[in-house]
Amino acid sequence: MRLGNCIVDIGKFCAVACVVGVSQAQAANGEIPEMVQIPSGWFWQGSDSVERQYAYQIDEQVYGHDISRRNRWYDLESDKWHVHLLGYDIGKTPVTNDQYAAFVQETGHPAPDISQEDWERQGLIYNYETILPFLWNDDSPPTGRGDHPVVLVSWQDANAYAQWLSDKTGDTWHLPDELHWEKAVRGPDGTFYPWGNIFNADRLNSADKGPFDTMPVGQFDEGPFGLYDGVGQVFEWTSSSSQAGYRIVKGGSWDDRGCGVCRPAARHGRPEFLKHILIGFRVMRDR
């Protein structure tokens, strides 16, 4: 193992589990997320000074200020390194409202909802009226949003969903860590975005051309391994910790422009208890 820009083979530390098949009925009705297979192999994770400079420049171009540079947001990214991972399966899309509803209805887990008092206590920039379209009606997703990514779920909620899938199928499901998430979204070659090194607003749901809202999953071209919505749409919880009580979220969201923060290498920590209209998740399954 080496640090910084050095090559690290962590494949031998990755556990591999036997796959227990999901029933055809569960897969057909959309109750179980559809997965893509990520092959064993090497990939470039993190960023270098060239990529970070590009991210700062596009932020400055679209926002007209240099807040991200002054706050050194992208300097927190891992230095680019070559990493080997064993094969694994990961959600083709973020978990949708309809998929999450099956979990809520079967287990009685609280549906995505939050009171005005609790929302305002989180100190986010959106007022409570802004989030009303995302609130569930009892245990049912908002009308017309069944195929949108589920949001207003904490890190604990996402883990509870993964545990339900494990209990239901006999497989081992969990949130991806930062490395597995980034390989699946970015591909093996270390490009700035899944499609290459130049930002293209036509390739993702961002505030550049999107509806300034979530939208049905799978509307844009797939990534290198057949995965959808890895950048833009919603930030996604990972299992990786940034500090005590905080978890790394990845991918950018529908209210970002530019989009420096939508690069797969970008990262920042959010409190585990946070429920946000910009954050959802996808699941990973061990083989």
Q: pLDDT digit string (tens) for 197-251?
A: 999 999 999 999 999 999 999 999 999 999 999 999 999 999 999 999 999 999 9
pLDDT score for 31: 85
pLDDT score for 185: 98
pLDDT score for 26: 55
Q: Fold for 8-285, please state it.
A: paralog of FGE (formylglycine-generating enzyme) (3.90.1580)
For residue 132, CA distances in Å to 102, 136, 152 come to 22, 9, 11
Q: Which residues contact 73 (CB under 8 A, 6 or more apart)?
A: 260, 261, 266, 268
| All structural domains of the chain with their residue ranges | 8-285
For residue 63, CA distances in Å to 57, 60, 102, 164 come to 10, 5, 40, 41
pLDDT band at residue 6, thresholds of 50, 70 and 90? Answer: very low
Q: pLDDT digit string (tens) for 78-137?
A: 999 999 999 999 999 999 999 999 999 999 999 999 999 999 999 999 999 999 999 999
Q: What is the mean pLDDT of the chain?
A: 91
What number is the average pLDDT over the span 56-66? 95
pLDDT score for 50: 98
pLDDT band at residue 158, thresholds of 50, 70 and 90? Answer: very high
pLDDT score for 29: 59
pTM over cut 0.85: yes
Judge residue 15's burial from the number of C-beta atoms within 10 Å of its C-beta, 0-12 exposed, 13-18 middle, 19 or more buried.
Answer: exposed
pLDDT over 90 at 5, yes or no: no
Tokens 């099956």 belong to residue: 102
pLDDT over 60 at 2, yes or no: no
pLDDT band at residue 8, thresholds of 50, 70 and 90? Answer: very low
